[in-house]
Amino acid sequence: MGSGLSSFKAGRSIDRRLLLRGALGVGALAALALPARRLLSPDEVADPLTVGGLAVTCNLTLPIACAANEAANPFGTRDAAQLAFGYSRYNGWPELKESLMSGDVQAAYMLAPLVMDLASKNVPVKIVSIGHRSGAVIMVHAKSPFRQFRDLAGKRIAIPSRFAVDFLFLRKMLANEGMTPDDVDVVEMAPADMPAALYVRGIDAYCTGEPFGAAAQSAGYARVLRMTRDEWPRYMCCVLTVREELIRTNRPVVQNMVNYVLAAGRWLDSRPENREKAVEIAARPRFFNQDPAILRFVMNNPSDRVTYGDLRMVPREFDELMGLAVAAGTLPRPVAYARYVDESFARAARPASIAL
């Protein structure tokens, strides 16, 4: 258990100087192969756009998109100067939200209800793509007597945040069983702490995204009680969000990100070999910095535990999510779809090459 859980303790960002130094080497090789591409001097190289994200499998399309874009458009070449984007790892939603609000990052994978809330408060942000489908689980101890969801009545259940769609999934399950939130004891807890809390019986169950369910399940002391793949297959929580000034000042890089995120989703779901390659890439220190065995467990148990191929933005699905968030008190009132979504990039998307 120790090694599995400790792998989730990671710093939030890559060393940009090392990234650029390594990328310049890749750019030099590309320049030799393609003479039309002029290598820029160090003073001319623009930093890649920073895209914030968490080390969760609902964000998996982001490192794949970053790696594929870098392979196709090596940093340090003029062709890539306006198209480069790189991953920056964050440890929690509050930190990432503050960075997006302040403009420290101009793009991030965010929780959809959190973006709705920010837009309602006139923070200039827009969702430009969905990042995944499904991917949340309700876990219980392997030795617990709980077999039906109703068995959790009166029990202590951990959620990541009131803004997390995992919380809305829990409320949806309660409603399906004719129960209310008053029938359970809901506590907020960092997902990385949930497996250990379940192990010592500090909680009776937890509802969160992967790979934190897989961490406990693969270690043998937890089992799945419910999955969104069975109860809410169109579930989504993490969405690619950008600040509006980025849309105004650099539409090409936003379009390039959306092209690669959508392509990464299709690539991930097209072949098992691609998922294995994705595990290898995402586990690297510059991305998730996680135990590849746990990520592999998520990808294969079952293979549709998290899906990525269908990233269409459907207004009625956002409306459903918003209705659940309003009912939960996460949002004070409904927010107009056009106020927090910009569909133009998804409509204009062109297939990007995932040559990994």
Mean pLDDT in residue range 217-230: 97
Q: Higher confidence at residue 43 or residue 133?
A: 133
Which candidate, 49, 63, 47, 38, places its Cα nearest to that of 250? 49
- Give the number of other Cβ atoms within 10 Å of residue 303's Cβ: 13
pLDDT over 90 percentage in the chain? 81
Q: What is the pLDDT of residue 77?
A: 57
Average pLDDT, the chain: 87
- Residue 163: per-residue pLDDT: 86
pLDDT of 115 reads 97
Identify whether the C-beta of residue 229 lies closer than 8 Å to the C-beta of residue 202: no
CA distance 7 to 296: 14
pLDDT at residue 324 greater than cutoff 60:
yes
pLDDT tens digits for range 232-246: 999 999 999 999 999
pLDDT of residue 224: 98
Helix (H, G, I), strand (E, B) or coil at 90: strand
Residue 52: per-residue pLDDT: 98
Residue 35 is predicted with a pLDDT of 35
Can you tell me the mean pLDDT for 290-319? 96
Q: Tell me, what's the pLDDT at 81?
A: 63
More confident site: 287 or 15: 287
> Which residue, 107, 170, 160, 110, is CA-closest to 138?
170
The pLDDT, as a whole number, for residue 78 is 59
- Secondary structure percentages of the chain, helix, strand, coil, to 5: 45, 15, 35
Q: What is the phi/psi pair of residue 136, to 5°? A: -110, 150
- Three-state SS sequence of 290-337: CCHHHHHHHHHCCCCCEECCCCCCCHHHHHHHHHHHHHHCCCCCCCCH
What tens digit of pLDDT does each residue of 135-183 get?
Answer: 999 999 999 999 999 999 999 999 998 889 999 999 999 999 999 999 9
User: Taking 80 as the threshold, does the pLDDT of residue 3 lie above it?
Assistant: no
pTM, entire model: 0.85
12 or 237, higher pLDDT: 237
DSSP, collapsed to helix, strand or coil, labels residue 213 as helix
For residues 146 and 140, give the distance between their C-alpha atoms in angstroms, rounded to a whole number.
Answer: 7
Beta bridge partners of 188: 159
Residues 27-43 have pLDDT tens digits of 332 332 333 444 444 44
Domain boundaries, the chain: 2-133+236-347, 136-231
Q: Which fold has domain 2-133+236-347?
A: D-Maltodextrin-Binding Protein; domain 2 (3.40.190)
What is the architecture, at CATH level 2, of domain 136-231?
3-Layer(aba) Sandwich (3.40)
Q: Give which of 164, 170, 133, 126 is closest to 58, Cα–Cα.
A: 133
Q: Evaluate if residue 278 carries a pLDDT over 80.
A: yes
| pLDDT band at residue 80 under the 50/70/90 scheme | low
What mean pLDDT do residues 58-71 have?
96
Contact 187, 203 (CB under 8 A): yes
